[in-house]
Each structure stands twice: as structure tokens, then as C-alpha cells.
Amino acid sequence: MLVAMRRVDIVAPRRRGADVVRVVHRLGALHLAPFELPEGLTPGVFGVNPATPPGTPFDAALERVADLGELLGPRIGPGHLVDELWDLDPVALLREADALEPVRARVAALTGERVLLGSEEARLGSYRRLVEGLSSAIGHLPSIRGYGSTGIVVHTRYRAVIGLIRDELEELTGGRCEILAAEMDPDRVAAILLYPARVAEDVRALLGGRDLEEVALPEEFQGVPFDQLGPELGQEQSRVQVRLATVEAELAALSAAHGARVAALRDVLEDRVAEARALHDSGISDHLVILGGWLPAGRVAELRDALAAEVGPEVLVEERPHQGRDPRTPVAFENQPFLRAFEPLASFISMPRYGSLDPTPLLALTFPAFVGLMVADVGYGLLLLGLLLWARRRWRGEPLMGIVWPIGVLSAAATIGFGVLFGEWFGDAGQQFLGLGPVWLDRREAIVPLLVLAISIGVAQVGLGLVLGMVNAVLLRHRSELARRGALLVSLVAVLVIIGWLARLMPAVAGQVALAALLVALVVLVATAGLAGPIEVVGVLGNVLSYARLMAIGLASVMLALVANRLGGLPENVVLGVVVAAVIHALNLVLGFFDSSVQGLRLHYVEFFSKFVEPGGVRYEPFVSALARDGTRLPVRPSGGP
Amino acid sequence: MDESIRFLAAALAVGIAGLGTGWAQSRIGSAGAGAVAEKPEVTGTILILVALPETIVILGFVVAAMILFL
């Protein structure tokens, strides 16, 4: 269900505005609303807070601390440090930020040096590999002074470009040049160009237009004889690596010493900046400040008590009359723990509007059932369960597991249940080796009954959607929607009765009544939705037929499992047969669960939810401080619930 | 002869519908890949959108089943 919300205005003396914001922030329950001018007052008397500048002294401090935090590596501020810093007064808090300035300067210098050393190390490594690649040719070269060199690397398929460069270089230097080329690896060819140092600029221009991977020799190695170049480059590279390791170690030490405090300080400064903005966006007059927003109905008393205790009796919390139809009212889910995993799925496309029905319980009931009906194999269900157990142990405590685990377990249970009903244990392997036949239907044979079952599920779910849509229309007082959805429901039932009449399964009277009802429903649809109204009937029938995928995808899954068993039985070698069958079953397992999940969701979003979920709800995002972000207290649920 | 025409008709019902679905999914998929590259948070929505045209082939399958079994 959706949490009942209340719209409140907190009225306080202007001088206590900052204290009020702080209490509200600490409580973490109020979804702030933009200030609205009370009736009868002009903006000149009561406007958006003009006295507080949008920027705060905390902005600059936050920028510096956030910079330092990025350099030290992202992390979450530990709870006890956040607690300690949160209660500091502004001056003391800014002093904390200033105290970190020497650390910031040192970290920035080290980070800069790390970047330079890293690129230097990469450059030396490239040239060293190039020299090593050409070592056999270089060994025959005499030492030449006054000559410059440039290394280039080209893809093997473009090695012809080296010949072109040779021609141009000979022309440029009057033949006083040399090019040595050799394969570095199967894909790359390295070459060193030797030329008089005075034409270095011309050579660079010559290479620049060819988009080549150019490896420039470090300046200090210019003129070094080639037979010494490799070892000297190696020594220099080692020296750079040692320095790089020293810099990394110092950065790690600084991160260990200051990282936690920096992260906590950043969290607290972000809170102060958010509080300043909240105060700036509040309403203010010469004497009063008004902060408005929504919060769960059950927490209004808590807000009142907190404000009375920490600010005093001069603060009033005014509750506005219930505004159930206000589309700006934020939406939060409040469901039983095992349903909570489905809340993100229920709000995946759009949050339901406040005041409408929560689709989560229905999704939790039918989504796993649909997945189970489509996969329906005991073996696959047990494997999924095993994988989930492993994943739960591997990623214990991860928020995503809190969603994946319940959905996965319910889907696996449904898969096993339907697998027993259809007698499928890795396809027909259970039947062949253990004699475990179908309890209800054999999906390989009962194609028509399963098709009828799938379409019947469609009729039931689409019909239920239309009924719930009518309930939502009543709750939100949409008369035309009520009439439209009612007419669609009547049309659906009428069409089914007419089909039954034509198939001689129903008496003629029922068929004639249904025909009359269909005509009336079409008239209502034209009146409420225009000429597109009757087309919606076709859409609803298409929605119902769309549920045939429950059977079609299931049939594909069981057939692929049979193929796995047949192919696994073909080789005479038992091990090879088991491997072949296992590979195809693994493929079927992945495809089966992935496709079933996507199709199951699609049936809910497109066919079911479109009949009753009122989209466009605003997610409840309370004004929460860093105190609540600590995982041990006041957890904020991903779906936005309190 | 009648049997073979029935099988051919059923195959065409699924096959042509499958081609239509494939064509629609290719258009949605390429546009969706571009959207996901720019905004990775829309991946889930795109997955659903890619699955939308499958109704066409499902309807083709229903028609084929009716041809074969009714």
C-alpha cells in the first residue's frame, strides 16, 4: 500500500529559521515543498527568503574537501565521525576544513607527480619495447653523434607506409638517414628513424600528417649510442617505477590517515549546504519563516515533538486539510518485508500517483507465477535456487541482493511447482530415468489446453486490471475514466460471451444480451474517449491474446530441453554426451529465466498496469542528513519508503 | 495435399509474423542502444520496449495453433 501523507507548514520566528531546518534535517522525514504564498498576502510581505544569499561560506569549503576526497578515493564517512562533526558550530566546522589544507596541497602535489611518472613510465616502456624489438638490427649500427631518432609503431597491415616514409626522409636529408624496422608482435611493426638532428622539426611535420603511433625518445637519451640505449632505458624505467611506488605509498598513507575524516567532513558540509538552500527556498517575512512539505501521517507527531524539544514552543506545525488528489503529493510504499523487493519493479516505469492503488502485492503474486509457468522445470528451479544461495553468500549485505533474493526464490519455487505439475526434470530426463511423469499436463502434447489456460489467465488479469482501474477512478474521482474502463470491461466480457455463443457453448439469449451490451459499451466509449474509444476494445482483446506467450515461451523452453537430452544421447562417449547436454541445458536455463523475466514484466507493465495504475507520481524523497545515511540507523529504502 | 497446405499456412503465420517482429525489434534495438549509451539508467525501459513487438509473433503463433489444432 501507499503511505498516507500529510502536508504541513512549519512556522517559526525568523531568527530560529536555521534551527528549524536543522531539526527537520536531523529527523529526515520531511519531503520539502517549494514555498507557496499564503492566500491574501503579497510577495512584498511574504516571499521566498530574500535575506539569505544562495551561496554559503560552506560552498567553498565543500569544494575543497570534496576535491581532496576525490584524490584520496571515494568512501562513506564513518558514523561516529559524522556524529562528531555534525554538532560543530559553523566556525569550528570551517576550521576543520581549513586544517586539511596542508594535506590537500600535499595530496595534489603527489597526485600530479603520479600522473607525470605514470606517463613517463609508459613512454619509457614503449621506447624500450621498440628498441628491444630492433635490437638485432641496432647491434650493427655505429654510434653516431649529432643524429636524432624517432620511433614509430604501425599496424602490420600498414607496413608499406614505412617505405613511403623512407623515400620522403631520404629526400628531406639528402640520403643521410636510416630506417630500421622489425616486427614487435604479430600485429605491430616498429621502426626507428635516424636523421640529422637539425631536421628534427621537419621530420615531426612529416610524421604528423600520417596519424602514426609516434614514440618520442626522452630528451636525455638523445645522442646515446643505440647499443647502450636499451639498458639505459631499462635503468631509467626502474628508477621511475621506484619513485612511483614511493608516491603511491605516501598517498595510501595519507588516505589511511585522513580519508575517513575527509569523507565525514564532506558529508557534513553537504548537509550544511543543503540546509542553507532549504532555508533560502523557504518563505520569509520580517518576523516569520515558513518551511513546508509532506511527511508520512504517522510521523507528524514525531516532527512536532522534535521541534518542540529542540527549538521550543514558539514553533508551530500547521497541518493542511487532507489533499488526497493533489498530484504533487509524494509517494512512498509501505509493504510487508517480503513484498518490498517488488516495490522497485512496481515503480520501474513510473511511480503510481498518490491516492491510487499500489500494484506491488499483485506484482509479487503473479510475476513469479508467470516466470514459473514459462520455465516450469524442477531441475532448472533447483539450479536457480542453488545459484541464488551462492550469490547471497557471495554478496551478503549488498542492497541489490535484498531485491534479487526474494524475487528469485519465489520464481524458483514457482518453477519447481509447475515443473512437478508438468513432470519436467531437465526436460524429459526425470521421466526417462526416474519415471517422474506429469501430475497435470504434458506440455509437449497439451498445446491447446495450455493455450486456453494462458489466454484465460490473460482474461482474468486484464479483467482484474479494468476492475482495479474503476476503483482507482472512484478514488481519484475521475468520472469519465470510470465510464471508459467500465465500458472496456463490459466489452471484454461481451466479446467472450459472443465467442461462446458462436461456438455453441452458450445459449442464444446470452449471446444476444452480450451483443446489446457491446453496442452500449461502444457508445459509451465513443462518448468518453472519442472515435479512438472503440479501437481500445481491439487493444484490450490484443492484450488478452498477448498472454499466449506464457504458453509459447514455455513450449520453446521445454523443446530446447528435449533437444539437449536428445543431442546428449547421440554420442557413444557418455562424458561427451553429458557435456553436450549440460551446455545446452545451461543455455536454456539462462535464456529461459531471462526471457521469462522480461516477458513477465512486459505482461504486467503493458497489459496489466496500463489498465489501472495512474502514472506520474512524485517519489517521496525526504530531506535526509548524513546522520541517516549511516547504515546502522534510520535506513532509507530504495523505493523511497520511510 | 490439404495437410501440407495447413502446415505451410501455419509456418507462414509464424514465419511472417516473426519477420515483422524481427524488423520492429531491429529498429527499436538500434535506437535503444543509442539511448542506453547516452543514459544507462534507461536500460530496463529499453529492454521492455524491445520486448513489445513480440506480441506480433505471439499472435502469429496463436493463428498457427488455431490452423493446426482447431
Q: What's the pLDDT score for residue A633? A: 37
> Is residue A383 within 8 Å of residue A595, measured between CB atoms?
no
A188 in a domain, yes or no? yes
Distance CA B20, CA A99 (A): 67
Task: Provide, as residue numbers in chain A, all residues whose Cβ is less than 8 Å from the Cβ of B51.
Answer: 598-599, 602
> What pLDDT is attached to residue A642?
37
Question: Per-residue pLDDT for A143 more than 70?
Answer: no
The alpha carbon of residue B63 is apart from the nearest alpha carbon of chain A, in Å, by 10
Predicted confidence at residue A77, as pLDDT, reads 67
Q: How far is B15 from chain A (nearest CA, A)?
A: 14
**Range from A47-61, A227-241, A502-516 that averages highest in pLDDT:** A502-516
Q: Which domain holds residue B48?
A: 2-69
In the prediction, which pLDDT does A638 show? 39
Q: Give yes or no for A602 touching B (CB within 8 A).
A: yes
B58 touches chain A (CB under 8 A): yes
Element (H, E) at A319: strand A316-319
Q: What's the rounded Cα separation, in Å, for the pair B26 and B23? A: 5
pLDDT at A89: 85
**Which residues, 6+ apart, have CB-to-CB distance to A549 below 8 Å?**
A374, A454, A599, A603, B54, B55, B58
Chain B residue with minimum CA distance to A604: B48
Instruction: State the pLDDT confidence band at A342, using cuts at 50, 70 and 90.
Output: very high
Residue A299 lies in a domain: no
Query: Which of B45, B48, B58 has its CB closest to that of A546?
Result: B58
Tell whether B41 lies on the interface with A, counting CB pairs under 8 A.
Answer: no
Residues A216 and A179 sit within 8 Å (Cβ to Cβ): no
Is A189 within the bounds of a domain? yes
Letter for the amino acid at A601?
Answer: L
pLDDT (0 to 100) of residue A350: 81
**What is the model's pLDDT at position A322?**
67
Identity of the residue in A348, A545, A599 whose CB atom sits nearest the CB atom of B51: A599
Interface contact B58-A601, CB threshold 8 A: no
Stretch A453-482: mean pLDDT? 93
Q: In this complex, is the C-beta atom of B54 within 8 Å of any C-beta atom belonging to chain A?
A: yes
- Predicted confidence (pLDDT) per residue in A55-92, tens digit: 677 888 888 888 888 888 766 667 778 888 888 888 88
Q: In terms of DSSP bridges, do strands A188-196 and A147-155 run parallel, antiparallel, or are they unpaired? A: antiparallel
Q: How many domains does chain B have?
A: 1
Decide if A160 is inside a domain. Answer: yes
Q: What angle, 0 to 180 degrees and rounded to 10, lies between the N-to-C axes of helices A17-27 and A226-280? A: 120
User: Is A556's Cβ below 8 Å from some Cβ in B?
Assistant: no
What mean pLDDT do residues A311-335 have?
83
Q: Residue B19's domain is classified under what CATH number?
A: 1.20.20.10
Evaluate whether A604 touches A462 at the Cβ level (below 8 Å): no
Establish if A392 belongs to a structural domain. no
- Give the DSSP letter string of A49-85: --SS-SS-HHHHHHHHHHHHHHHH---PPPHHHHHHH
Specify if A198 maps to a domain.
yes
- Flag whether pLDDT at A258 surpasses 90: no
What mean pLDDT is predicted for residues A243-256? 89
For B8-46, the pLDDT digits (tens) are 999 999 999 999 999 999 999 999 999 999 988 888 788
Local structure of residue A2 (DSSP, 8 states): B
Of the pLDDT bands very low, low, confident and very high (cuts 50, 70, 90), residue A520 is very high
Average pLDDT over all residues of chain A: 85
Asked if residue A417 belongs to a domain, the reply is no
Question: Directed axis angle between helix A479-502 and helix A508-529, to 10°?
Answer: 150
- Would residue A214 count as lying in a domain? yes
In this structure, what C-alpha cell is assigned to residue A536? 481500445
Task: Tell me the C-alpha distance between A25 and A271, whole Å.
Answer: 8
Does the beta carbon of B19 lie under 8 angstroms from any beta carbon of chain A? Answer: no
Overall number of domains in chain A: 1
Q: Which residue's C-alpha cell is 529465466?
A: A593
**B70 touching A (Cβ < 8 Å):** yes
Q: Which residues of A touch B47 (CB under 8 A)?
A: 598
Q: Which of A128-137, A147-156, A157-166, A395-404 has the highest mean pLDDT?
A: A395-404
What ipTM does this complex have?
A: 0.78
Grid coordinates given for A191: 621502426
Comparing A228 with A546, the larger pLDDT belongs to A546
- Spatial neighbors of A325 by CB under 8 A, at least 6 apart, are A355, A476, A477
More confident residue, A127 or B35: B35
Residue of A nearest to B55 (CA): A546
Find the CB nearest A598 among B51, B55, B62: B51
Distance from CA of B41 to the nearest CA of A (A): 11
Residue A46 vs residue A339, higher pLDDT: A339
| Contact pairs from chain A to chain B, CB under 8 Å | 42
**A548 vs B contacts (CB less than 8 Å):** 58-59, 61-62
> What is the percentage of chain A residues whose pLDDT exceeds 90?
34
- The amino acid at A162: I
Q: Which residues of A touch B44 (CB under 8 A)?
A: 348
Q: CA A401: distance to chain centroid?
A: 14
Question: Which residue type does A25 have?
Answer: H
Q: Do A599 and B69 touch (CB under 8 A)?
A: no
Is A517's pLDDT higher than 60? Answer: yes
| Mean pLDDT within A547-563 | 89
Tell me the C-alpha distance between A156 and A152, whole Å: 12
CA distance A548 to chain B (A): 7
HSE-CB of A254 using CA atoms within 13 angstroms: 25
3-state SS string for A140-186 = CCCCCCCEEEEEEEEEHHHCHHHHHHHHHHHHHHCCCCEEEEEEEEC
Q: What average pLDDT does this structure show over A357-369?
A: 94
Q: Which residues pair with A179 in a beta bridge?
A: A193
| pLDDT higher than 90, residue A47 | no
For residue A198, give the DSSP letter.
G
Tell me which residue has cell 621537419.
Answer: A202
CATH number at residue A165: 3.30.70.2750
Q: Point out the residue among B47, B59, B69 whose CB comes nearest to the CB of A448.
A: B69
Reported as a single tens digit per residue, the pLDDT across A390-418 is: 999 999 888 888 889 999 999 999 999 99
Cβ A548–B62 below 8 Å, yes or no? yes
> What average pLDDT does the segment A376-380 reach?
95
